Amino acid sequence: MLIALTADLHLTTRLKNPERYNALADILTKVVARDIATVILAGDTFDEASGNYAEFEAFCQQEKFRNLRLILIPGNHDSQLNPGQMTAKNVEIVSKACIRAFGENGMTFLFLPYLKDATMGEFIAAHASVLKTNQWILVGHGDWTEGMHEPDPSEPGIYMPLTRTDIENFLPARAILGHLHKPMDSDVVSYVGSPCGLDIRETGRRRFLILDTESGAVESQVVDSDILHFNESFVVVPAGNEIEYVKQQIAERIRGWQLTKKEIGKARVQVRFYGYSSNRRALQEAVLESFKAFRFYRDSEPDFSEVSTADDANLLEIARRVKERLQQTEFPQDDRQPDKEQILLQALHVIYGG
């Protein structure tokens, strides 16, 4: 049996953030088309608890979605949700840790609603007697501590952690979490990610998951969201081919996004430039030309505030040679290490004494 999972919608009202409801509508429409009946929302369905969920209920009870069953597991933003608040018959709120099953031969599910000052491990331990090794699936909302080298600056601290030890001790087939908005998959743990980027920090295509309850296999499905954010930075090197180099960098970055024509229209781009330029005006013109098919995020302009003027011929030659050398050097590929661009920028600061 297949079920669908999403998380971190952060719904407000349709008036305020129509794109968030539209992302949910796209997910539910795709779920119906696949003949899937159950959708699990792994926390932060709502941006904050409210006294009235009538708009959400009316949305879920539309004719086309009426046969779906939506299971809401509260997250830290909507931890106050409780079953007594909703009358929509196809919406269920899970306010306490519980065991579930989907399909006759489906694996055992452990649902863990967010609880402040608690850990996922303590709830897993409490249910361990019914969790068979590699035959159960965790759905919760909080921090996977292994993935914490990229913490969310807007939510400091640790939220209901799941640790490597929890995974090793209790061996779930898969853990699917809400909380981090960036989609992520490790061997066991998946963050679904927010189905509609909330702001410029939530970039790229968004997704939801389809899970086979017998095998535990997950499949990503693209959410056709109203907006796609891209937030990019570039290093400017004042060598002879400065403008060409920047244009080439931008073209490569845009190619990497692999956008369809329709998606280009939905993209909102923020770009920043760092380094040293021999002609900032020419640089600006080249950048605007390179991005002419795109709209900028909140009508911002490309940011050149970190680009200084460089006109010393000797320093220019040094910068050119350093850039060439760096391009030929292999560096370790790791999220925790600076990338080539950052190394190049630091080298330029040394050369120009910036």
The residues that touch Mn ion, with contacts defined as CB under 5 A, are 44, 75-76, 179
| Least gap, CB of 141 to Mn ion (angstroms) | 6
Q: Which distant-in-sequence residues (6+ apart) come within 8 Å of 35 by Cβ? A: none
DSSP secondary structure letter of residue 283: H
Distance CA 269, CA 248 (A): 17
Distance CA 337, CA 99 (A): 41
- For residue 289, the number of C-alpha atoms closer than 13 Å in the C-beta half-sphere is 11
Torsion over CA: 323, 327, 331, 336 (sign): positive
Of 17 and 249, the one with the shorter C-beta distance to Mn ion is 17
Of 75 and 204, the one with the shorter C-beta distance to Mn ion is 75
Of 179 and 229, the one with the shorter C-beta distance to Mn ion is 179
Residues, the chain: 354
| Least gap, CB of 96 to Mn ion (angstroms) | 18
The CA–CA distances, whole Å, from 87 to 6, 111, 208 equal 22, 21, 26
Question: What would the two tokens of residue 6 be?
Answer: 């999403």
Question: What would the two tokens of residue 244 be?
Answer: 């060409």
| Least gap, CB of 157 to Mn ion (angstroms) | 11
| Geometric angle at alpha carbon 352, from 346 and 353, rounded to 5° | 80
| Least gap, CB of 76 to Mn ion (angstroms) | 5
Of 116 and 255, the one with the shorter C-beta distance to Mn ion is 116
Q: Are 181 and 193 in contact (CB under 8 A)?
A: yes
Of 116 and 298, the one with the shorter C-beta distance to Mn ion is 116
Of 5 and 68, the one with the shorter C-beta distance to Mn ion is 5
H or E stretch including 244? Answer: helix 242-257
Of 94 and 243, the one with the shorter C-beta distance to Mn ion is 94
The backbone torsions φ and ψ at residue 197, rounded to the nearest 5 degrees and listed phi first, read: -55, 125
Of 197 and 275, the one with the shorter C-beta distance to Mn ion is 197
Distance CA 251, CA 195 (A): 27
Torsion over CA: 295, 300, 305, 308 (sign): positive
DSSP secondary structure letter of residue 291: T
| Least gap, CB of 143 to Mn ion (angstroms) | 9
Distance CA 202, CA 150 (A): 13
Q: Are 158 and 145 in contact (CB under 8 A)?
A: yes
Of 150 and 339, the one with the shorter C-beta distance to Mn ion is 150
Amino acid residing at 100:
R
| Least gap, CB of 152 to Mn ion (angstroms) | 9
With tokens 């429409």, the residue in question is 29
| Least gap, CB of 184 to Mn ion (angstroms) | 14
| Least gap, CB of 140 to Mn ion (angstroms) | 11
| Least gap, CB of 44 to Mn ion (angstroms) | 4
